[in-house]
Amino acid sequence: MRIATWNINGIKARLETVKTWLRSASPDIACFQEIKSIDEGFPSEVFEELGYNVAVHGQKGFNGVALLSKLPFDEVVRGLPGDPDDLQARYMEGVVSVPSGVVRVVNIYLPNGNPVDSEKYPYKLSWMERLKLRVEELMTYEEPFVVAGDYNVIPTPEDVYDPKAWLSDALFLPETRARFQSLLNLGLTDAFRACHDEPHQFTFWDYQAGAWQKNHGIRIDHLLLSPQAADMLVSCDIDAEPRGWEKPSDHVPVVMELAV
């Protein structure tokens, strides 16, 4: 089973790019973030024609996540528990049946948190704490699951082209990185780092200042695996090619394979 995560930065602007990539890469499950679309506006029929079941948790103009799966969903959960007043569409889960049992795929678009001196950074940290509580609960299920998505977290200095340039950014602050590490400490495995130890492997390049051409990138899109899923891990790679296409997202897909 191949599972991909990709912040597509708007389905309306990126539809043709996404279709081209899906036809080529053909993941079994794709997690999209920042779809910038309400549920009814998401072009589900386009992806159904490509053989996918589609589940959407959308929001007008910004945020929003979508799950595409070649297998039917046994269960879909929308929204991160813990704050009934939080209406931002940033979290969903899908459960599918596989030969060995089930696989749960959690799709997240974690808050950016900038500017740090605004209400956005406390929101980011509280969201991460709620995510941790949900992961703790999922751990008790003792099933293979992946928490995939745009974390807006640069885990280590090896994951950014110039650490000094990001010292005061919400994505790289010590408290942000500590919250990310606390997720790993629950027993999750960073799928990409389990397969690659080389530094300066990036998933995001800003549109400004020639970042793509200069390879001034950061790694903020992650696939974190439960112990049961980590035991199934075959490979995990960054597909940087779509960043060089016409009208690209500023993020690129990360794709892993599980032996299910």
pTM summary value: 0.97
Task: With a cut of 90, say whether residue 189 has pLDDT above it.
Answer: yes
Choice among 52, 91, 109, 121 that is catalytic: 109
Band of the pLDDT at 145, cuts 50, 70, 90? very high
Residues in the chain: 260
Q: How many domains does the chain have?
A: 1
pLDDT, average across residues 50-69: 97
Q: CB–CB of 39/79 below 8 Å?
A: no
Band of the pLDDT at 201, cuts 50, 70, 90? very high
Q: Is 109 a catalytic residue?
A: yes
In tens, the pLDDT along 18-33 reads 999 999 999 999 999 9
Burial status of residue 213 (CB atoms within 10 A of its CB: 0-12, 13-18, 19 or more): exposed
Q: How far apart are CA 235 and CA 232, in angstroms?
A: 9
- Domain span holding position 57: 2-258
* H helix runs in 165-225, sequence order: 174-185, 191-195, 211-214
Q: Is 206 a catalytic residue?
A: no
Choice among 91, 121, 150, 190 that is catalytic: 150
Task: With a cut of 90, say whether residue 174 has pLDDT above it.
Answer: yes
pLDDT given at position 7:
98
Band of the pLDDT at 106, cuts 50, 70, 90? very high
Band of the pLDDT at 253, cuts 50, 70, 90? very high
Paired residues of 32 in beta bridges: 6, 66
Task: With a cut of 90, say whether residue 99 has pLDDT above it.
Answer: yes
Q: CB–CB of 229/259 below 8 Å?
A: no
Task: With a cut of 90, say whether residue 235 has pLDDT above it.
Answer: yes
pLDDT given at position 152:
98
Band of the pLDDT at 209, cuts 50, 70, 90? confident
Structure tokens at 234: 């075959």
Q: How far apart are CA 91 and CA 109, in angstroms?
A: 7
pLDDT given at position 127:
98
Band of the pLDDT at 113, cuts 50, 70, 90? very high
pLDDT, average across residues 3-24: 98
Q: CB–CB of 149/183 below 8 Å?
A: no
pLDDT given at position 157:
98
Paired residues of 235 in beta bridges: 257
Task: With a cut of 90, say whether residue 114 has pLDDT above it.
Answer: yes
CATH code of the domain covering residue 6:
3.60.10.10
- How many other CB atoms are there within 10 angstroms of residue 221's CB atom? 26
